[in-house]
Amino acid sequence: MYEDRAPESVWLPKRRWRKLKPVWQAAHTGRADAEALGSLLHEGLVVRATFDRLRAFDIGTGQERWSWVVPGRDVLAAMTDEAVDGVGLLVHWPDTHGGQKQARVTALDLTSGQALWTVPRNLDELWHHRSGLRPGSVALSGELAMVATGEAVVALDRRTGRQVWVMQPGHDHHVRIRAAGERLFVVTLRAGAATVRAVSVADGSVLWKRPLAVDGPVEKADLVRADPLLVSVEGEGRRGTDCLVRLDADGNTVAEFSSAGDGSTVVAGGSWRIADGRPWATWAGDTLVTLVSVPSTEHLSRPAGFSLSTGRHLWTWDDGWGLDALTSHRGHVVALRHYKHEHEEAVAWRCEVEVLDPADGRRVARRRLRVKEDEPYTLHLHGDRLLWVGRKSGPLEPPVKAYDWR
């Protein structure tokens, strides 16, 4: 898939594209139309999560390797983005009023699909008016599993679930966490201001604490990434600023990303995340790629590149409307777009995968995928294999399918 500088002749208008056919399509089982809430890759498996179960499929064949059913009448509320030593962390609770008070935290062996341990935990402060996952609620690092309760951070032994330490951020609330190596980063809110802390994973001690330096009051703040350390901000009121802020290892501001300089601005905090809870932000080398929107067309956004080290706007991809997935792979930015094409009363579904040079946003390669009406939830890449995780799963909508880049 790696194409450093594809010749312009490859993309001549008269060139005919051969649509890539699925190599395999995973079989649908269980409840129809269950929407995906999360997904991850782990050692030859692609895991798709819905509110009531996780299913793992073999990347090579599409065969189901294991299925884990959320116990009782609980629903999935949070999950880690990746595994640590083969372990993933989940939160689930009863789907009733006040169910968060009866929440449980489970460590799952992602190789076998077996639960290692489950412990009860009152997570009432994580209440949210919408269903779906609560990003920034759980994190894994080394031998510890961390859970943000909304008012504190609790560290549990990754192998047993035993409580190791608790970190209380005082009167702050809206606690969100992400881990990187031996540090856990914590962002909190209080009286319209955001604070970022670096916490030692070993013992929960606070290594440093910094107010987030942004103009205007803050309504929401979340950790987008831990390495590099990126915080998303949704401003409050007309003086609030919607932006991304990059911090260094000591909590000092390196760059702020808020405007592309052509009248477009970084998308608001409420739109930072796509359906699977991951942020609309990726990077390759020194280039951060996120979405910007023009005020007159706020419902449409385009990807733009910024320098991670300076915050300078580098490029905006004007053809990048209506993306369904955005990621990076082998030093390039990869975008997927799935859309309906209508021509003379005929309706067809089309899908294109575009590969961009992160330095200048120039498209260096693209492929068409043979698709139907089923929508993508997200896209994973493993070598030359593209793994399409379906938004829904049903008799005509496979939960996962694979394409090979040729």
Do both 328 and 198 map to the same domain? no
Residue 74 lies in a domain: yes
Task: Record the tokens describing residue 243, joined without a space.
Answer: 């932006």
The per-residue pLDDT for 108 is: 97
Higher pLDDT, 274 or 144: 144
The mean per-residue pLDDT over the stretch 248-269 comes to 83
Instruction: Return the closest-CA partner of residue 196 out of 207, 181, 186.
Output: 186
Q: Which tens digit of pLDDT belongs to each residue from 188-217?
A: 999 889 999 999 999 999 999 999 988 888
Do both 85 and 204 map to the same domain? yes
Q: Is the pLDDT of residue 297 over 80?
A: no
Do both 306 and 379 map to the same domain? yes
Residue 306 lies in a domain: yes
Q: Is the pLDDT of residue 263 over 90?
A: no
Averaged pLDDT score across all residues of the chain? 86
CB 331 within 8 A of CB 319: no
Do both 254 and 387 map to the same domain? yes
Cis peptide upstream of residue 303 (ω within 30 degrees of 0): no
CB 93 within 8 A of CB 99: yes
Residue 151 lies in a domain: yes
The per-residue pLDDT for 277 is: 52
Do both 252 and 385 map to the same domain? yes
pLDDT band at 170 (very low <50, low <70, confident <90, very high): confident
Which domain, by its residues, includes 370? 18-58+241-406
Residue where one domain finishes, among candidates 196, 211, 226: 211
The per-residue pLDDT for 265 is: 81
Residue 23 lies in a domain: yes
Task: Record the tokens describing residue 378, joined without a space.
Answer: 């997200």
Q: Which tens digit of pLDDT belongs to each residue from 45-67?
A: 999 999 999 999 999 999 999 99
Do both 376 and 245 map to the same domain? yes
Please report the DSSP string for 15-56 in residue order.
PPPPPBPPSEEPPP-SSTT----EEEEETTEEEEE-SSEEEE
The per-residue pLDDT for 302 is: 84
Residue 93 lies in a domain: yes
The per-residue pLDDT for 2 is: 45
The per-residue pLDDT for 351 is: 87
Do both 204 and 101 map to the same domain? yes
Residue with tokens 């035993």: 162
Residue 36 lies in a domain: yes
Q: Is the pLDDT of residue 146 over 80?
A: yes
Do both 80 and 30 map to the same domain? no
What percentage of the chain exceeds 90 in pLDDT? 51
Do both 32 and 181 map to the same domain? no
The mean per-residue pLDDT over the stretch 287-314 comes to 83
Number of folded domains that form the chain = 2
CATH number at residue 184: 2.40.128.630
Do both 189 and 314 map to the same domain? no
The mean per-residue pLDDT over the stretch 155-170 comes to 94
> Is the pTM higher than 0.85?
yes
The mean per-residue pLDDT over the stretch 141-145 comes to 94
Residue 63 lies in a domain: no
